[in-house]
Amino acid sequence: GRPAAEAPRAEQLAERLRAQKREEKREVPQEPAQRRVRELAMLSRRLQQVHPNVLAKILKEGTLFQNEEIVVINKPYGLPVHGGPGIKNCITDVLPILAKMLANMKAEPLHLCHRLDKETTGVMVLARSKEVADRIRLLFKTRQVEKIYWAISLGEPDPAEGVVEIPMVEKEVQSHQSHYKMTLAPNYRLRPEDGREVRTRRDRGAESAVTRYRCLASAAACSLLELQPITGVKHQIRVHLAYGLGCPILGDHKYSHWSKLAPQKLPEITLRRLRLQQSKARHLPLHLHARRLCLPLGQQLDLVCKPPPFFQKTLEKLELNISKD
């Protein structure tokens, strides 16, 4: 039969899983706010467990726009674009199913044109043919696509609008558990003698990164920001806000500190408004939403997507009232 060592290991694993289930049952919070936060954490886990056909149907129902060249979907929270270890469901895998659901049966699979992080929600463009996909990828690459994001951040940026233009690079963080993060690689530093700015040697691995930002509303120690990434570096908005402006995105547990992997620490007033205890803050989702894309494809397509319900609820609770423009 099996090697003797494997049996106890499997047994331990099963017991751990049972314990985890018991823990989850016991831990269902009575507080509505905390229940909702838990539900979101569950939601992205559930998206991993549904049948690919169900996932395709969810995406189909969130279709924002389609014509003979493209299909624009509203990407759900917590759904990765690409597969990887431990990932059963991702957008790439359901594209052939989605294509069949949207068109007559002879649909060829849809093609990805750009990516969004797993936690980001909002406007995502899929092409109906490889040629169109290549055309759109080139538009992204040559920066002809205007991208607007919304984020809820901790703190208020000062000044209230401006441009963050600081190169970025990926570095290994040495801490009790070492991990990789994107970080800033500025071209300048302040001279200790007199505080003057001096140019430094460019980090060879660094990519230039530019983000425009504008504060739309502030309340409860948070802000609603409108962001326009001019470049497309990995995690650019998250890093520019956290390390460039000192205003990390609400629910960004990765970039709220440099050296540790710990839940974001929220100000007292924010916790009160969200009716949340600090210990539950680790369940808060990332509040970053791809709000609109302007795509010059023949005519200028203006594709807009309203934030998901959890994002809107947070806006209401924090009383971040955006003036209707």
The CA distance from 130 to 209, in Å, is: 29
Same domain for 190 and 63, yes or no, is: no
Residue 7, domain member (yes or no): no
3-state secondary structure the chain: CCCCCHHHHHHHHHHHHHHHHHHHHHCCCCCHHHHHHHHHHHHHHHHHHCCHHHHHHHHHHCEEEECCCEEEEEECCCCCCCCCCCCCCCHHHHHHHHHHHHCCCCCCCCEECCCCCCCCEEEEEEECCHHHHHHHHHHHHCCCCEEEEEEEEECCCCCCEEEEECCEEEEEECCCCCEEEEEECCCEEECCCCCCEEECCCCCCCECCEEEEEEEEEECCEEEEEEEECCCCCCHHHHHHHHHCCCCECCCCCCCCCCCCCCCCCCHHHHHHHCCCHHHHHHCCCCEEEEEEEEEECEEEEEECCCCHHHHHHHHHHCCCCCCC
The CA distance from 66 to 191, in Å, is: 54
Q: Which of 23-27, 101-105, 106-110, 261-265 has the highest mean pLDDT?
A: 261-265
Alpha carbon of residue 278 to chain centroid: 22
Q: Which of 87-91, 156-160, 172-176 has the highest mean pLDDT?
A: 156-160
Which of the listed residues 142, 175, 193 is the one where a domain comes to its end? 142
Same domain for 123 and 240, yes or no, is: no
Residue 25, domain member (yes or no): no
Residue 190, domain member (yes or no): yes
Could you tell me which of 66, 67, 229 has the C-alpha nearest to residue 146?
Answer: 229
- Looking at the chain, the whole-number percentage of residues with pLDDT higher than 90 is 63
Lookup result for tokens 């309203």: 306
The CA distance from 261 to 321, in Å, is: 32
CB 118 within 8 A of CB 234: no
Which range of residues forms the domain containing residue 197?
146-324
- Pick the more confident residue, 257 or 21: 257
Convert the pLDDT of each residue in 304-318 to its tens digit: 999 999 999 999 999
pLDDT at 17: 75
Say if pTM beats, i.e. exceeds, 0.75: yes
Residue 27, domain member (yes or no): no
Same domain for 58 and 117, yes or no, is: yes
Same domain for 302 and 185, yes or no, is: yes
Residue 109, domain member (yes or no): yes
Same domain for 176 and 265, yes or no, is: yes
Q: Please state which of the ranges 39-43, 182-186, 235-239, 250-254 shows the lowest mean pLDDT.
A: 39-43
Same domain for 162 and 264, yes or no, is: yes
Are β-strands 70-75 and 121-127 bridged in parallel, bridged antiparallel, or unpaired? Answer: antiparallel
**Beta pairing partners, 224:** 152, 217
Residue 289, domain member (yes or no): yes
Same domain for 94 and 197, yes or no, is: no
CATH number at residue 164: 3.30.2350.10
CB 173 within 8 A of CB 259: yes
Which tokens in the block code for residue 41? 């954490």
Same domain for 153 and 205, yes or no, is: yes
Same domain for 169 and 284, yes or no, is: yes
Residue 21, domain member (yes or no): no
Same domain for 236 and 204, yes or no, is: yes
List the catalytic residues: 117
Could you tell me which of 6, 63, 8 has the C-alpha nearest to residue 303?
Answer: 63
Same domain for 40 and 181, yes or no, is: no
Which of the listed residues 112, 142, 172 is the one where a domain comes to its end? 142
Q: Can you tell me the mean pLDDT for 15-44?
A: 69
CB 69 within 8 A of CB 295: no
Residue 22, domain member (yes or no): no
In total, how many domains does the chain have? 2
Same domain for 36 and 104, yes or no, is: yes
pLDDT at 3: 59
Are β-strands 288-297 and 299-304 bridged in parallel, bridged antiparallel, or unpaired? Answer: antiparallel
Which of the listed residues 109, 126, 142 is the one where a domain comes to its end? 142
